[in-house]
């Protein structure tokens, strides 16, 4: 067994920053997921599907677009939408413009769940994230994340979404 490097060496600062980032990047969503499951019986992924549909025109969106916004495979999204559909939270149909396109629509029952879950979700987001950062920290974080975004959005599909949502939050109103 040798101690040869497995890849580029990381400085102490790089290693520490990466480990902390990984812990936070996985830890906050895991905690949000746990709280949503305990309080509403749905996970963060399901909540975010409801959120995207809530914010979309006519509470509907092509499944392919929803998969992109969720950074998900169409297969995973389809399984989640099937569960939401069986609970009466989402309905699936075919596009009137192109019958090949599957469309997900938030039902009144799904809207009710979203409106019930959103206040607790937003409170948890504030507790775990925003309450720990001042406006200067947020501006710095936004600048840094904007630098990282092209690495996970090479096609530039998600970057416009980050600009478009500007003042729109998953509010209950």
Whether 10 is covered by a domain: the verdict is no
Whether 49 is covered by a domain: the verdict is yes
Percent of the chain with pLDDT over 90: 69
Residue 11 pLDDT exceeds 70: yes
- The phi-psi region of residue 88 (left if phi > 0; otherwise alpha if psi is between -120 and 50; otherwise beta) is left
For residue 73, give both structure tokens: 């495979």
In sequence order, which residues have a C-beta less than 8 Å from that of residue 168 and are 6 or more positions away?
55
More confident residue, 153 or 167: 153
Find out whether 54 and 106 touch, Cβ atoms under 8 Å.
yes
- Of the candidates 62, 33, 59, the one whose C-alpha atom is nearest the C-alpha of residue 45 is 33
Residue 87 pLDDT exceeds 70: yes
Whether 107 is covered by a domain: the verdict is yes
| CATH number of the domain that residue 72 is part of | 1.10.10.10
Whether 69 is covered by a domain: the verdict is yes
Residue 145 pLDDT exceeds 60: yes
Whether 88 is covered by a domain: the verdict is yes
- Identify the band that residue 170 occupies on the pLDDT scale cut at 50, 70 and 90: very low
**Span 108-123, average pLDDT:** 97
Whether 140 is covered by a domain: the verdict is yes
Find out whether 143 and 135 touch, Cβ atoms under 8 Å.
no
Instruction: Fill in the DSSP letter of residue 11.
Output: -
**Span 100-104, average pLDDT:** 92
Separation between Cα atoms, residue 129 and residue 24, nearest integer Å: 10
Spatial strand order in the sheet of 102-106:
60-62, 102-106, 90-94
Instruction: Report the number of distinct structural domains present in the chain.
Output: 1
Residue 162 pLDDT exceeds 80: no
- Kindly report, residue by residue over 18-75, the tens digit of the pLDDT: 999 999 999 999 999 999 999 999 999 999 999 999 999 899 999 999 998 898 999 9
Range of the domain at 51: 15-155
Sign of CA dihedral 31, 37, 43, 46: negative
Q: For the stretch 99-127, what's the b/e string if a residue is b when 16 or more beta carbons lie within 10 angstroms of its beta carbon?
A: eeebbbbbbeebeebbeebbebbeebeee
Whether 160 is covered by a domain: the verdict is no
């Amino acid at each position: 067994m040798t101690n040869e490097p497995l890849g580029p060496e990381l400085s102490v600062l790089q290693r520490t920053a990466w480990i902390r980032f990984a812990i936070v990047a996985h830890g906050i969503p895991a905690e949000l997921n746990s709280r949503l499951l305990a309080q509403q019986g749905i996970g963060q992924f399901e909540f975010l599907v409801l959120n995207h549909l809530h914010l979309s025109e006519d509470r509907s969106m092509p499944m392919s677009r929803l998969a992109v916004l969720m950074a998900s495979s169409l297969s995973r999204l389809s399984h989640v939408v099937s569960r939401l559909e069986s609970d009466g939270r989402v309905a699936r149909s075919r596009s009137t413009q192109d019958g090949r396109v599957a469309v997900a629509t938030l039902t009144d029952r799904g809207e009710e769940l979203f409106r019930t879950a959103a206040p607790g979700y937003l409170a948890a987001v504030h507790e775990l994230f925003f309450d720990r950062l001042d406006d200067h920290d947020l501006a710095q974080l936004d600048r840094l994340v904007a630098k990282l975004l092209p690495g996970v959005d090479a096609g530039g599909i998600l970057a416009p979404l980050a600009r478009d949502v500007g003042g729109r939050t998953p509010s209950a109103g």
